[in-house]
Amino acid sequence: MHITVAGKGVDTGEALKAHVTDGLSTVTRKYFDHALDAHVTFRKDRAFFACDINLRAGRGLNMRAEGHGPDAHRAFAEAAEHIGKRLRRYRRRVNEHARSLADERNAEPEMARDVVLREEAEPEEGSAVPDEMVDLRQNGAIVAETPTEISHLTVPEAVMRLDLSQALVLMFRNRTTGILNVVYRRADGHVGWIDPQPEALARQA
C-alpha cells in the first residue's frame, strides 16, 4: 500500500512518517489485505493537532477518518482507531454479503464524471445552450472534473459505502432493479434514499 504523509502548518519529519506508515499498514493488514493507497494529512486545530486519513481500500471503496490530540502522534492514533473500526465493520459485512460482492468484482465498471462547480458561477437566465457542460466550461464554472465509478450495489451496501467514506451523497446502480439510485446524508443525521420509479415517471411523461 502506498502511503502519503503531508502537513498543513505541521512539520512531518521522517520519524512521524515512519510511525504513520507502520501503524496504518498494521491496521489495514489486520482487516483488509489489499488496500491500495492512503493520504494522511496533519494540521493544527486551535491548540490541538488534527489528523485526516483518506484510505482507498479497493475499487470504489473509500474511507475517511479524523482524529485529534495534543500532539501529532495521538491525533493519528485516534484517526487510525476510527479507520480500524470501519474496516472491521466492513469485513464483517463482506462476510455477510460475500456472494453479492463477488458479483460486483466480476462486473465491468461503469464510469461517470465527478464535476465540481464554482459556487458563484451560474449559467445566465434564459440561455439556451444544447451542451450544458460546454456552457459551464466557457463560463469558467467548472473547478475540477475527474472520472469516477458507479458501483453496482444493493441499498444496504450503498449505505455502508456512504458511512465508510463519510461522504454526503453516493450514486450507485441498484443491483436488484438495475436503476441508478442515490443515498445521501440528511441534515438530521439519517440517510435518505432516492429510488426513481420507471412506472411513475412514465405516467407523468
Query: What DSSP designation does 95 have?
Result: H
The enclosing H or E element of 17 equals: helix 14-31
Q: Residue ranges per domain, the chain? A: 2-96, 108-148, 151-205
Instruction: Please name the amino acid found at residue 23.
Output: G
Residue pLDDT, tens place only, 98-142: 555 555 555 666 888 887 877 654 555 554 444 555 566 666 677
Closest CA to 27 of 79, 71, 73: 79
Is the separation of the CB atoms in 115 and 144 below 8 Å? yes
Amino acid identity of residue 199, one-letter, is E
* pTM exceeds 0.75, yes or no: no
User: CB count, 10 Å around CB of 72?
Assistant: 24
Rounded CA gap, 100 and 125, in Å? 46
Length of the chain: 205
pLDDT > 90? residue 43 = yes
| Residue 158: exposure state from Cβ atoms within 10 A (0-12, 13-18, ≥19) | buried
Instruction: State the Cα–Cα distance between residues 81 and 86, nearest whole angstrom.
Output: 9
Rounded Cα distance between 205 and 189, Å, is 34
Span 151-205 CATH architecture: 2-Layer Sandwich (3.30)
More confident residue, 151 or 68: 68
- For the stretch 11-33, pLDDT in tens is 999 999 999 999 999 988 887 76
The reported pLDDT for the residue numbered 178 is: 87
Q: Which of 75, 93, 86 is nearest to 23 (CA)?
A: 75
Question: What is the rounded average pLDDT for all residues in the chain?
Answer: 80
- Arithmetic mean of pLDDT, 172-200: 86
Give the cell for residue 89.
465493520
- Give residues with Cβ within 8 angstroms of 51, minimum separation 6: 40, 41, 42, 66, 67, 68, 69, 72, 75, 76, 78, 79
Query: Class of the 2-96 domain?
Result: alpha beta
